[in-house]
Chain A
Amino acid sequence: MIMKKEVLLILIPLFIMYSAVAQNINLGEQNKTFNKSIIEKNSLFDIFITIPQDYQAVEAGKELLTSIKLINLGSSGRIDVILNIEIKDSAGSLLLAKKETVAVETQANFVRTFTIPSDAKLGKYSIHVKLVYADGKEAAAESSFEIVKKSTAISRTVYFILIGIIALGGLIYMGMKSKTLIEKIKMKGQIRSLVRKKLKAR
């Protein structure tokens, strides 16, 4: 009986620790993309990477926006960590890589943007963030997104230019109309005074 209790006390924390791997899996969007945090054994850091809904499908040449959250679970005080960020396609080929050092006290939230090369192939991609801190200890997270075909819809700029042209045309048309109207009123006034003058002079 005592043996059974001890086994449970060991197994429950282990189960909780390893189940965190699947904690951040995003099953929305018909499993197209996911956000995953991998807490490595003995890691004192937790790391999350999230891609907002609007950026889960980006066009080549456009920017990919990500939100990264680091939580310092162990050491007290400020600690410098190295972040290795990689974007890979579904075959594992590297598209982009970035390395930077970040200082974390208890937790850090920041946004990072990546310009997707304009010649990038269409398809599913994943972004991996690996955090390396003292003694080579690591924590990692990943998320996915899709590079999609450039939309053929009229861009906002073109749309606003068109609206501007139409509005300008309307103003010109109204100006011309009002000019004709003013001329007509002027002419009527001229005729009225002419008739009055001529017929009074009789």
Chain B
Amino acid sequence: MASTLIILPVENLQNEINSIARKYSGTPGIYISLNKPHSSIEKLLKKEGINTKKLFFIDCVTAEQKRDDVLHVHPTELKKLSAAINTFIKDIPGKKFLLLDALSTLLIYNDENKVAQFVKEITEYSTEKDVEVIALSPKTKGEELLNKIFNFFDEVKKR
């Protein structure tokens, strides 16, 4: 299993999310939503006919807990976020994937070293547990800040 960072124009972001979700349809996945509330993402995916039943959302946008099946973590709480990801990885049996939408948002709330540390932790843990990691980042959002994070991914794709 590999970890991939995809840097793409912001207007293509949703299409990329849709294609990833479609590709992994039927496989349990952990969706970390940092840009939009999980309800919007879910709505958009369902609109595209993508099955979201096996997606576990970690909503870092909405503070209020409205549904029991969604975990809410503030983007500044990187340790909590890392612990939540690790627990999901541990508890979901079999093949799974992790989608980070979008990594650059973490750089708005946190120091780049802390984000780098977080990325290192989750990519290492995911590799260890055979989990596919896909991190997205729009080109416009502090691309230069991603330099420190590049090395932790097996592959960096620029579109």
Point out residues on B near A: beta carbons under 8 Å: 28, 53-54, 56, 68-69, 71, 80, 83-84, 87-88, 91-93
Contact = CB atoms under 8 A, between A and B. Distances in A.
A182 interface: no
A121 interface: no
Interface stretch (A7-15, A167-175, A187-195): A187-195
Contacts, number: 41
A197 B69 contact: yes
A194 B84 CA distance: 12
B53 A195 contact: no
A188 B54 contact: no
B53 A191 contact: no
A199 interface: yes
A41 to B, nearest CB: 90
Contact of B83 (A187, A192, A198): A187
A124 to B, nearest CB: 66
How many residues of A sit at the interface, in one of the four size bands?
A: 10 to 19
A202 B88 contact: no
Nearest to B26: A202
A188 to B, nearest CB: 5
A27 interface: no
A191 B93 contact: no
Given A198-B54, A198-B56, A199-B28, A191 B87 contact: yes
A62 interface: no
Nearest to A184: B83
A201 interface: yes
A190 B83 CA distance: 12
A196 B53 CA distance: 13
A73 B47 CA distance: 116
B53 A202 contact: yes
Contacts of B80: 183-184, 187
